[in-house]
Amino acid sequence: GRVAVRTTGSFNIKTKNGLVQGISHKYCQPIHKKDGYAYV
């Protein structure tokens, strides 16, 4: 899929099943950190 980020801090996420618009950054959390470690 693809992610479009707006300057307002909201996201659009496009998947093979459709488009989800206007997701606020408040409701998102990182699931991967770029520090070289594996998290479970």
Element spanning 19, H or E = strand 18-24
Which stretches of the chain score pLDDT less than 50?
none
CA distance linking residue 12 with residue 36, whole number of Å: 28
pLDDT for 13: 92
pLDDT for 22: 92
pLDDT for 16: 93
| Alpha-carbon separation of residue 24 from 9, 27, 28, 34 (angstroms) | 6, 6, 7, 22
CA distance linking residue 40 with residue 30, whole number of Å: 13
Which amino acid would we find at residue 23? I
pLDDT for 38: 75
Question: pTM score, two decimals?
Answer: 0.56
